[in-house]
Chains A and B, each alone.
Chain A
Amino acid sequence: MNARSSLAVRMARVDKAFGPVLATKSASLEVQLGEIHALVGENGAGKSTLMRILGGLIAPDAGRVEVFGREVTGWTTRAAIQAGVGVVHQHFMLVRPLTVAENVVLGQEPKRFGLFDKAAARRAVAELIERTGLRVPVDRPVSELSVGGAQRVEILKTLYRGAKLLVLDEPTAVLSPVEVRELWGVLRSLQSGGATVVLITHKLDEVMEISSRVTVMRRGETIVSIATRETSPTELARAMVGRAVALASQQRQAEPVKQKGSALEVRDLLVAGARRARAVDSVSLTVAPGEILGVAGVEGNGQTELVEAIAGLRPASFGSIRLGGREVATFSVRERIAAGFSHIPEDRQRRGLVLDYSVAENLVLGLQERFCRHGILDRRAIAERARRLVAEFDIRPADAQAPARALSGGNQQKVVIAREMGRDFQVLLAAQPTRGVDVGAIEFIHGRLREARAAGKTILLVSADLNEVLALSDRIAVMYGGRLVALLPRAEATVEILGAQMTGAGRKEAA
């Protein structure tokens, strides 16, 4: 009885089926009051399902859920909020033109004479910010905040509603190292204020750093629940995937392979963005064949515009882009593909895939010309290619006719990778190639990138994940405010140096 009453969450033998698939089977989770509990697992392991059940978004088919010692199985979101459960989703649910204060109180606005009392809202939110240390300007519209700022607003929202149990779904995916550290600070101070935190994450170093307990899920089942100090990243990775995994940080890159091939040269590139006239500001870089140049940086510092300009999706106002000495800046997207460009776009669901097209159709997107005769699609060749790539890249389900929409994020990304790397290419622009995919898929994608490098391909890697950049790159550039503020050989780069450059602390110009 005593042990039980110290539990914030107790979920036991929880089953939840979606169609014919069990998303969780007999899953369990026990979270002590006042602890920071990490919930880890691959995509589709059932973490999110479990948290959606906890938050009242869906009801379990079987099992028992207790929150703060009270049985609440199958409750509603409203009841969950009232009981003090606050969920911060991966995708922010904020009204961008409204101010921070307005967003925080939305749905529970203070009223005076039946009308919205803006002054009271400001006061309440300012007081909350003061108390929690979640620093955001109260009167600023959310649209003007950084991603980290928006996330703090989401957390404030749940706290405003009286959350004592905070569930954070992959909160660090969009943050810079500095912002991550700030978030940890906030979580620790909430913890010392008596709050309980459940943190869903992919990143094992975060688990080690912040959590006191960790629960690993795999294929809907709870594999292990253990005190964090009694385990290691390697052990956790094995529990997540079900076999030994080479963690990115443990791998050493081989020496650069000098190969013949085409170098990518970008000179004085100037690109206008949606918000800034100089989203990319006089960027020059050269990537040699057999080399991976990693571009690190907090998102929104021009990386997107840089890659899109090189790929031909965004006009460059000035500058030159050469592939093997040939000027391609005036080429259309199609001509650049023909010239040997491959591009893994950062947003696969918007750019990289037509979600309602089948896997087979998506595997020829951008290569339509090669898969038709006299303008008529060569369906046999398309099916043949799909069969080959689905097998080679282990895309699941192995049904090339399934719409891309029906695939998990990791498998969608494999479709993109298969299309872009399963053909002859000279240069690969890889933007956030492993975003939102699970450990196993990350390992697979990294392996593919290394193979391409060994085969003499020219690779420009853009990633917000410093570990990824460090694990793969021969040289590392840092982008800040549209400029390349640093360019280092891998051997000289450390998380500390890069982290400082990413926030504009060092102002050393790129070579």
Chain B
Amino acid sequence: MEDFSKKLKDAERLAARSGVSRRDFMQLAMMTGLSVSAAGAMFSKAEAAETPKKGGTLRMGMEGGSATDSLDPRTYADSVMIAASLAVYDSMVEFDNAGNPTGALLESWEAKPGAVEWIFNVRQGIKFSNGKTLDADDILYSIGIHRGEDTKSPAKGILAQIADIKAITPSQISVTLSSGNADFPVILGDYHLVVVPNGFTDWENPVGTGAYKLASFEPGVRLVFENRGDYWMAGRANFDRVELLNIQDVAARTAALQSGQVDAVNRLDARTVDLMKGNNALSIVRTKGTGNRFCFVSRVTSPGFENKDLRLALKWGIDREKIIDSVYSGYAVPGNDHTLDAFNPYYNTEMPQRAYDPDKAAYHFKKSGLSGEITLSTSEGAWGSAVDCAQLYQESMSKAGITLNVKKESADGYWDNVWLKEPFCAVYWGRRLSADQTFTQVYGSGSDWNDSDWRVPAFDKLVEAARVELDETKRKEQYFECQEMIAEDGGMVCFAITDYLDGYSSKVMGVQPHARYDMNDNRIASKGWFA
């Protein structure tokens, strides 16, 4: 009986939190043996919880902050500052749960054929926290700080395609790109691109259009926000106050959530999350396969690795399922040797998932004509469990008769000394905004970060063609082919894409999985509310 009521409660919470349809809910409820009318009544109750309520203090505990953090958007690199930034500032373009761009401070847009010239409309009647009204000049300034000769912004690269940008009227901006890009609005959704008033430089006292204003900031310790009142987007900005604590240690985060000292935490530990599932006071939100992409990357220009058969042997010889089960407790999806994930609208659903096949690995290794051992450089500096993954890889390769020598590098300075230098090493990639960005930055001939050194003119051409293709069917075909080329010929063994695991107190609502980031796109402060 206890089990039954627990299931029912789960169903009710699911309906409230994640917008389950009435039909799904009824089915779920029926399975637990409830009458139709009773289930119907319960659904209305659950649905009522979907209307946001105002009030309360949300206490968040997050990993991904440091004593060296700042609210200057040119310095953001990790979750705490992204979440803080999105509480104080607004972005130009947002993403819906499926990952499609939607209008934020840039309300709507239009591309001329060829996707070179764009017109963006600036949302009207928006006020900054200092009382100024938003206009096109603020947007131009906020983009401008990431461009130009001497900027250190990480967004500089993605904005280099802007040839000309100007305000036509106070509410309209025209952008001319150096070459067409149908995904340009997606680029403007990058987390560095938040809007501040024209000429703003006082990053200690941020002024934004966001739901909250900053009350206090101790880098690496805590940020406190207070509701600014009167936010432009309906249903948002529901908490009176938001506290964001930096909690780097995952056990400390988990204990804080369990003992009720915080209401929301990010990055739960896959190894212990199952222990919390039975706790009714908590809810766990799992976003499947949008997290980090874990790869072993070979440089195809290095001796040995220029042989395609060797690269295929590396791809067939890894036991993805086993690594996911034993290292990630099942909270990851197998990678298909490229870094696009299944949430991306252009993910190739027709290409079969590569599985462990020691016979094929042995066959390709033999065909390559190479012998001796292969050295894989790995380190905890690449990602926490990179050494464990490499050891399991070594074991699965040995079953194919291939000797993999696992070389442990120093964690400190790993990205400077090993990545892009050693012929075969562990690398993780984060999610990129669009298929185009993924293919250009990770595999494009012109990219500084093309870590497999796989530079193929035919591939570049295909990516360029897809970039300006406004016909969706054609574009999809082109991107499918891109993924096949990388998986078949490239130097990357992408074996797992992790899940995001968020933990919430069950009274926090509005906590759906989101295609881009965990914690509902790191916007739970503005999207959530208390039941």
Chain B binds chain A: no
Instruction: Please report A residues at the B interface, Cβ cutoff 8 Å.
Output: none
